[in-house]
Amino acid sequence: MSATLILEPPGRCCWNEPVRIAVRGLAPEQRVTLRASLRDEKGALFRAHARYCADARGELDLEHAPALGGSFAGLEPMGLLWALEPEKPFWRFLKRDVEIPFVVELEVLDGHDPEPGRLLCQARHERLFLPPGVRRESVRAGRVRATLFLPPGPGPFPGIIDIFGIGGGLLEYRASLLAGHGFATLALAYYNFEDLPKNMDNISLEYFEEALCYMLQHPQVKGPGIGLLGISLGADICLSMASFLKNVSATVSINGSGISGNKAINYKLSSIPPLGYDLRRIKVRMAATLILEPAGRCCWDEPVLITVRGLAPEQRVTLRASLHDEKGALFRAHARYRADARGELDLERAPALGGSFAGLEPMGLLWALEPEKALVRLVKRDVRTPFAVELEVLDGHGPEPGRLLCRAQNKRDFLQPGVRREPVRAGRVRAALFLPPGE
């Protein structure tokens, strides 16, 4: 029986709607890897993957089956979508044309190996940014440059002005999705778009007041107040609008600031200078430190306590281990972690969030070492020389290695201190005798 990948709803749905992912026709308790990928409008690739195990009936339902590692771990029914990461570091995930959906490719691969296994089944799912029935209207009213999204139906509807941050331009994907939930939403540009200023040197509230008046006078918008939604600099603008302008009924600030740090706020004859900043008061955090206990070296069968200090609070990092055997073959393992509120990470207490393993595994970076070349066995041939394990801490959880934060080496001995090694050539016996320390 061939495997089948089932999506509900099938085919397509809105970007902010959940999709149920299930696989049928697998072998009982078969180990599989699910992989998701999409390309943005500039061709940049985003990917995510997770390892799973089918149930006794050969079925897999992501609403009930926890991921065993990969881009995430645990019960995350939508993990393959929210965990999508760029192939190129620092590439931002943006939707520029809301009338064209993103196409997500989903694949089911056999096994849990780092190298892709046999393709068992695949499916495609379109993720819409313009919900059915939502109307998109370009706005060029006075100085206002924007796009208005109106929900289906006769209206009037509660109104929202949506303002993005640094970078300017006109981003519509949040406004279009909000309209699908019954809000008349204005995606507002304020610089670096058409005939608007190319740069944002100060916040002139008259322009935003004009956008507010446009919404209040629109026959499809319900008064008497308008809601504001902003992120970053857009959130600063929304807070300024709520402070000085009338008919603002609600404000949502995402990553905004309670002050204007580097831009003056101008309204009519008033001007509030920026608070500014004092570079002399910047405190540079010490570099992260990788601590091994016991330090330096220990026996192969002894545990080593791995901790990291000097990280940012709740910083996401990837720990990576590698060693070369006596023939030069490379073995590697990695795992993703999150530091605690103090910027510390203790592998005896912190669960791995995915990678070569998941969960609380203090020695996982050693037992999970896998060969770069398939079917190469990790064997120690000369016990008199140790294996040298290289440990690295990298910034972030991206598929591409992040910035190296710190590193350390742990030598793993196979000949304990004081143990005597004696070759044995007695009759036909060919052996090595190891004697403990002492008499």
pLDDT for 90 beyond 80: no
pLDDT digits (tens, 9 = 90+) for 177-201: 999 999 999 999 999 999 999 998 8
DSSP letter for each residue of 325-336: -TT--EEEEEEE
> pTM value?
0.66
What is the predicted pLDDT for the residue at 411? 92
Q: How far apart are CA 304 and CA 291, in angstroms?
A: 10
Is the dihedral angle over the CA atoms 144, 146, 151, 153 positive or is it negative?
A: positive
Least confident of 108-122, 152-166, 363-377: 108-122
Share of the chain above pLDDT 90, in %: 73
Q: For residues 413 and 299, is the Cβ–Cβ distance under 8 A?
A: yes
What is the predicted pLDDT for the residue at 87? 84
Superfamily of domain 135-279: Alpha/Beta hydrolase fold, catalytic domain (3.40.50.1820)
Q: How far apart are CA 236 and CA 256, in angstroms?
A: 5
- Which one is predicted more confidently, 295 or 5? 5
- Which one is predicted more confidently, 417 or 218? 218
Find the angle CA(304)-CA(310)-CA(311) to the nearest 5 degrees. 95
pLDDT for 399 beyond 80: no
pLDDT digits (tens, 9 = 90+) for 215-239: 999 999 998 999 999 999 999 999 9
Dihedral-angle region of residue 88 (phi above 0 means left; psi in -120 to 50 means alpha; beta otherwise): beta
Which tokens sit at 209? 């007041």
pLDDT digits (tens, 9 = 90+) for 10-51: 999 999 999 999 999 999 999 999 999 999 999 999 999 999
pLDDT digits (tens, 9 = 90+) for 335-381: 999 999 888 999 999 999 999 999 999 999 999 999 999 889 999 99
Q: How far apart are CA 371 and CA 325, in angstroms?
A: 10
What is the predicted pLDDT for the residue at 55? 94
What is the average pLDDT across 165-184?
95
Reported residue count of the chain is 439
What is the predicted pLDDT for the residue at 282? 79
Architecture of domain 4-128: Sandwich (2.60)
Which tokens sit at 352? 């791995």
Domain spans, the chain:
4-128, 135-279, 289-413
What is the predicted pLDDT for the residue at 1? 53
pLDDT digits (tens, 9 = 90+) for 254-290: 999 888 878 899 998 888 898 888 888 877 655 789 9
The answer to whether 135-279 and 289-413 have equal CATH topology is no
What is the predicted pLDDT for the residue at 237? 94
Q: How far apart are CA 161 and CA 389, in angstroms?
A: 55
pLDDT for 139 beyond 60: yes
Indicate the CATH number for domain 289-413. 2.60.40.2240
